[in-house]
Amino acid sequence: MAIVIETKDLTRVYKTYQKPEGFLNSLRGFVNRKYDSKTALNKTTLQIESGQIIGLVGANGAGKTTLLKMLSGLVTPTSGDALVLGYRPWERKNEFLRQISILLGQKNQLWWDISPMDSYALLARIYDLDPSAARKRVEYLASMLQCTHVLHTQLRRLSLGERMKMEIIGALLHEPRVLFLDEPTIGLDIVAQQTIREFLEQYVKEKGPTVILTSHYMDDIAKLAHKLLLISKGSIVYQGTVPDFVAKANTELAESEEVDFEDVIRRFLETESRVR
Ligand SMILES: Nc1ncnc2c1ncn2[C@@H]1O[C@H](COP(=O)(O)OP(=O)(O)OP(=O)(O)O)[C@@H](O)[C@H]1O
Ligand SMILES: [Mg+2]
């Protein structure tokens, strides 16, 4: 299978300005600024094959969103390199942007004050899509996501779950070959989570995009991901399938009862929070 995403020692360090307390100190801060630096992603080397769903898992602050933002060209690396579909993402070439999509579950990307349908019409123009083909595609995706009835309502009047479905349709409108989904089910009820999960499963089967998915709900990962990428404090600590991961953990633990995927992840996150 073809390699679609490739990184070599990809690193991102964020510098944040330490704001001193007090008025006089903050004036002094203008000339003598103190910075904190934080390595959000450290020398990550990866290869991802086409048509796979990769589940990216790690504690809060592990570097998941940073990795997705670099791979989609929203953030520039501090060092190292990456190629997605043969392009350097941060060069933000049009041909690249037309073939990828990033959905940030914690952020609205569609326009807040107009209906999703109007947003899609604008996106269709931005992506230079045929308007009637785009409309058909919206109707098809909306029926799969069971949300046709809200397409004409102002985005800000929709519930969180309805909004997320609208964002998903927006992210898929131009049929991206590579899709970055950052917490697409965050905060949703279990029925909405399940609808989105089943939708993604069927969508990937039909269209075959390469997907990197992050989620704090291990059901999403266990049900959808062909491969697991486990990240700890900016470094990848496991790459492989979910069953292999669970089997390895079970051999190591050698406990009387078998632990499942969710148990293993919980234990991993518990040790993470102790050593953080
Ligand atoms: N713009 C920024 N400026 C400064 N530090 C940042 C910035 N974005 C992220 N960081 C820091 O980089 C680290 C990784 O953040 P990131 O958002 O990639 O984590 P994450 O794995 O997506 O976490 P979560 O599960 O909470 O979404 C964190 O320590 C965060 O505080
Ligand atoms: Mg994140």
Give yes or no for residue 197 CB within 6 A of ligand 1: no
Residue nearest to ligand 1 atom 30, measured at CA: 61
Q: Please identify which residue in the block is written with the tokens 């404090």.
A: 233
Residue 60 in contact with ligand 1 by CB distance below 6 A = yes
CATH number at residue 181: 3.40.50.300
Structural domain span for residue 128: 108-175
> Same structural domain for residues 163 and 136?
yes
d(CA 239, CA 247): 14
Q: Number of helices (H) and strands (E) in the chain: give both, helices first.
A: 10, 9
Q: What is the mean pLDDT of residues 86-96?
A: 97
Q: Is 71 in the pocket of ligand 1 (CB under 6 A)?
A: no
For 214-265, the pLDDT digits (tens) are 999 999 999 999 999 999 999 999 999 999 999 988 888 777 778 889 989 9
Q: Are residues 180 and 266 in the same domain?
A: yes
Give the Cβ contact number of residue 40 at 10 Å: 22
Whole-model pTM: value is 0.93
Residues 164 and 193 in one domain: no
The helix (run of H) or strand (run of E) holding residue 251 is helix 242-253
Check whether residue 192 and residue 80 sit in a common domain.
Answer: yes
State both tokens at 35: 């910075």
Which of 10, 11, 14, 183 is the pocket-test mutation for ligand 1 (most atoms within 8 Å of CB)? 14
Structural domain count, the chain = 2
Average pLDDT over residues 163-174: 97
| 163 contact partners, CB below 8 Å, separation of at least 6 | 108, 155
Work out the end-to-end distance of the chain between its first and last CA atoms, rounded to an integer number of angstroms.
Answer: 38
- Which of 175, 209, 227 is the C-terminal boundary of a domain? 175
Do 30 and 152 belong to one domain?
A: no
Contacts of 193 (CB under 8 A, 6+ apart): 185, 217, 219, 220
Q: Which of 175, 201, 230 is the last residue of a domain?
A: 175
* Alpha-carbon 192 to chain mean position: 18
238: CB partners within 8 A, 6+ apart? 228, 229, 230, 245
- The amino acid present at 232, given as its one-letter code, is S
Residues 131-144, mean pLDDT to the nearest whole number:
96
Residues 156 and 185 in one domain: no
Clarify whether residues 58 and 84 are in a common domain.
yes
Residues 192, 95 share a domain:
yes
Domain boundary among 139, 154, 175: 175
